[in-house]
Structure 1
Amino acid sequence: MPPVKERADAARNRRAILDATAALLAEHGAEGVTMDRVAAAAGVGKGTIFHRFGNRAGLLHAMVAESAFTLRARVADGPPPLGPGAPAADRLRAFLDAMARLVIDNLELMTILRTEPPHPRTEELHRFWYEHLRALLEEARPDVDAEIVARLLLDSLAGATVPDLARSGQADRLTAAVRELVDSVLRTP
C-alpha cells in the first residue's frame, strides 16, 4: 500500500510548527521550547501540535529526525566509506565521525531529548546505530567484545562531554578526539 499523501494544510502546519520550534531553540535555547510557545509562534492551536506529534518528545524527535534518517539512509545505501563497500574499519571511522557531527549540529535538541521520555522512533534509531556499530566492530576487530564496545562508543557521544566541548567552541577538538578513540579501538595489540 503506498504511503498516504499529506494534505496541503497539514503539511503547512507541520512546517510552521517545525520552523517555530527551530526559531525558539535558536533564540531561547532548550528552555524556550514549550508547547504553548511553539503553538503561538506557529499560529496553530496546541491541540494541533499534540495531534501531529503526540507530545513534546515527539515534536523534538521530528526536529532531529530529518538529519538522523538521512544519516541512516547514507549508512544503509550511501557511498563508501559511510555506506557499504568500504572496509569495516573505514566505515566505523566514517560512522562515528558522522554521529559526532549529528550530535554537535543538533546540540540543543539532544539536550532536551535527554530529559524527555524516549520516543519509539528514537529507540528504533538507537537500535539501528548500535547494531550497525556492533556489526562493524565484529568485522574489524573480532577479538573484542563488540556488544560492549559498541555501547561504550555510542555512550561516549551521549554524555555531558559533547555539549560541554561544543558549547565552549571546541567542536573540532571533540571530533578529533572521537577519531582518536575509534583509532585506539581499531588498533590490534
Structure 2
Amino acid sequence: MDHGPVGKADLELARTPPPRERADAARNRAKVLAAAADLFARQGVESVSMDAVAAAAGVGKGTLFRRFGDKAGLAAALLDERERELQDAILAGPSPLGPGKPGETAEPSARIRAFVDAYLDYVLDHLSLVRMSETASPGARYRIGAYRFWHRHLTILLDAPDGEAVAHTLMAALGAEHLTAMVEAVGVDRTRAAVHTLFALRA
C-alpha cells in the first residue's frame, strides 16, 4: 500500500515540529548537544552528569535544565536529527523504505521489512540514548513524538481493521529496553533475525 497524499499528510501531522528559537539560543543548543554527544561517546551515557555537560558546553546548569529538563530530554534532543532523517526517507526516499518514484512503490511487506531494517540500524547504533529517552518515566516512550510517527507508518502499511492495535504490538518488539535485553542475551544478529521473524508473521 502506498501512503499516497492522504497517508503522507497523516504522517506529516505525526511529526514533532523542529524547535523555533533565536539565533543565540540555537547556538547554545548546538554547543550543548555537541558537548553531550562527545561526553556520552567517551564516557558512556550513564556515567555523564548534567553538571558535566553544562561545564563542557560553557552554559549554566539552570540554562541546561530549563532547556532540556533532564538527561532523558537531552538524549531525545540528540536523537532528533537522526529520527528526522529516517522519517524523511520514509516519506520521500527511494523504495522500498520510501515510496520511490511514481510507479516504483514496493509492496507493503517489503516496505515493512525495509522499515524494520532501518529502524534497527538507528536504534542499535544509539541504544543507550534511545533507552534513556524511552524509560525516563513510566510511559515515556509513548509520549515521544517519533513513536507516533513510527506507529502511524506501520498502521498505514498493515492496512487492516486491527492495524492500529497490531502496530502497537509490533512496535513493542522495537523498544530499546527490550532490544537491550535481547542483545545482551542472544547478540545483535539473532536479535535482528527474531524481530524480522515477528514482523513477517503479520506483514
TM-score, normalised relative to structure 1: 0.80
CA distance in 2, matches of 1:174, 1:116: 24
Equivalent of 1:136 in 157, 164, 170:
157
Query: 2:154, 2:167 within 8 Å by CA — same for their partners in 1?
Result: yes
Query: 2:130, 2:176 within 8 Å by CA — same for their partners in 1?
Result: no
The 3 A distance-change label for structure 1 pair 75 and 162 is same
- 2:78 is matched with 63
Q: How does 1:97-116 map to 2 (within 5 A)?
A: 97-116=117-136
Per-residue CA deviations over 1:58-112 (Å, capped at 9, x if unaligned) read 2211111111111111111111111122211111111122112221111111221
Across the aligned residues of Structure 1 and Structure 2, the Cα RMSD in angstroms comes to 2.7
- 1:173 is matched with 190
The 3 A distance-change label for structure 1 pair 128 and 114 is closer
Equivalent of 1:89 in 109, 113, 131:
109
- 1:39 is matched with 54
Structure 1, unpaired ranges of 5+: none
Identical residues among aligned pairs (%):
42
CA distance in 2, matches of 1:178, 1:119: 22
The 3 A distance-change label for structure 1 pair 18 and 133 is same
Per-residue CA deviations over 1:129-178 (Å, capped at 9, x if unaligned) read 1111011111xxx4x73222211110001154411344578222222222
CA distance in 1, matches of 2:135, 2:22: 30
CA distance in 2, matches of 1:133, 1:163: 22
Paired residues in the alignment total: 179
Is 1:52 matched up with 2:67?
yes
Structure 2, unpaired ranges of 5+: 1-18, 100-104
TM-score, normalised relative to structure 2: 0.75
Per-residue CA deviations over 1:36-76 (Å, capped at 9, x if unaligned) read 11101222211232343344332211111111111111111
- Where relative contact order (Cα < 8 A, 6+ residues apart) is larger, the structure is 2
Equivalent of 1:30 in 45, 52, 64:
45
Give, in angstroms, the shift of residue 4 of structure 1: 6.0
